[in-house]
Chains A and B, each alone.
Chain A
Amino acid sequence: MARTISYREAINEALAQEMERDERVIVMGEDNAGGAGSPGDEDAWGGVLGVTKGLYHRFPGRVLDTPISESAFIGAAIGAATAGMRPVAELMFIDFMGVCFDQIFNQAAKFRYMFGGKALTPVVIRTMYGAGLRAAAQHSQALYPVFTHIPGLKVAVPSSPYEAKGLLTQAIRDDDPVIFCEHKALYDTTGEVPEEQYVIPFGEANVVRDGGDVTVVAIGRMVSVALAAADELAGAGIQCEVIDPRTTSPLDTDTILESVESTGRLVVVDESTPRCNLATDISATVAQQAFGALRAPIEMVTAPHTPVPFAGNLEDLYIPDAQRVVNAVKSVTSWER
């Protein structure tokens, strides 16, 4: 039975249902209960934006607050995973990856390979990404491309409450390390989510909207931006096929290529900064494998090559919006040699 809940609630529900089902699942992070040792309520915050609220009392001993020591507790989550637990650790902001990246990319990502197939590291690292809340340069980045680049990691980027619950459930059950990227501006958005547990397999893109004129691949929150652009473009007689990859690693290139074979045009909408991001990755794959099908150059709609500005008007310029997508689509659909 589906009903309308928020992105935040969908994540909370995925955690709660998996913790109910599997006692090996534990949750840890800064203020995931919040606050340990404080005189007031032990579950005062339930995460900085309330995502883990309620779990502390429902699953005693399985929701751990941590000191501000990312390399220690992210490393601990990874170590605990090798020892048979299924930890879901929270790296509060993806921007903080710098202080714990070794444990993620040199340890967790490489154990299985370096140890000849004998290690299992079923850890999930949940993290917030994205601009739009005027949180400025060190709290607003979209760094999933960096994790996508690392062999041994899987990366999920849910675009809606439905995606969030299904992908997180899959992530927890997955035997590989997963970086689960939640867009902070999506927490209050709502959508239809089944009450019961379900998984969305990794490496399976979702064709959110059918269309024959242009393929628009969008990541995370950019899916809603692409859909808004698609609505406007439909009014102008241009039908967009909007594809949500859901996971950047593994990436469902088959679905994207199949769509481009049919439309001959590609626009990629990626909130991350332009050098070596998912837009460049997907564009290169399509250019290499579907060159003959392309009837126009590929267009990428991304943030500029800058840090995220603080001033509201500047941040709004930074984030790809529906208008820029519309312009990009019109450009590829009107292109002539």
Chain B
Amino acid sequence: MGDTVVGIVANPLSGRDIRRLVATASVFPTAEKANMVQRMLTAFGVVGVDRVLVGTDLGGISAAVLRAIGTRPPRDPPWPEVEFLDQDPITQTAADTVNAVRRMAEAGARVVVCLGGDGTVRAAAAACGDTPLLPLSTGTNNAFPQLREATVAGLAAGLVAVGAVDIAAVTRRAPVLRVDGAGRSELALVDVCTSVNRYVGARALWDPAALTELYCTFAEPDGIGLSSVPGVLCPSPRDEPSGVALMLCPPAEATWVVAAPIAPGLVVPVGVRSWRRLEPGEVVEVATPRGVVAVDGEREIEFSGAPAPRVTLRPDGPRCVDVRAVLAGPARNRLIQEVER
């Protein structure tokens, strides 16, 4: 079977954008991200992972992990061998996540754990191919990655990696929205939204009056971010293949005005003119003549005129590990040792 390899990529820049100012989003400390990585290494060591590939960054996460490797007392439980992926130059952009995950997949990682928000997971999803992904939330809008304690997530990922589980039973392919526009192609894990802002600017979306169309892979009533609008109005469960499409407008012209938590601390009235189900495979042409397409809550693509950007809901997104399913199932037995008497 060979080396059991797991990858961990952590985004140091998640959680520092303008939503600290226009909403009450918090800053997720780098030290905490570094601690999460270390907790996972402990968990991997316990379940028998051989090697861990860790992405490198200039934000102090990989440096803190390196320091910890060097200063751990010998009596602490052993960690797997850690290899830092430093072959690619660090650009301090999403490309770092893409590069790291690509190398992890090429090196045969059985699972890739990804620490970040929606934006980070999106980048990882673009590169992971069939390798299962375990997203842990540390960003601003964590609509996609779930909030999970890192040690437990580490145990789950480790058990997947050492083959203690039936992968099909514990992973689920997340649907994605593919956007093609202005010569670019992007994947969204949660939402695609068009805005009449002309420019990407400070990226985040916080002004509901500018939004025109919203497409979501899923929409849960207790979600945060743009998907909370349909989440409250017309929920679309995560485990259903279809999504939802909404036409938005200023509240004065709306059929419904939804008080939606579109960012931490920001509950604003969003006007909805109409909504409908979005079927997998359906190609939708954006109706807004010019503006910006936002992907998972961040403005990404500036477009104007023809051809209009196209949005497609696809069922073949990343395979995501369900932590609870791993630990609730028979893999749990690996953690139990019956003592002979």
**Any A–B CB pair closer than 8 Å:** no
Residues of B within 8 A of A (CB): none
Residues of A within 8 A of B (CB): none
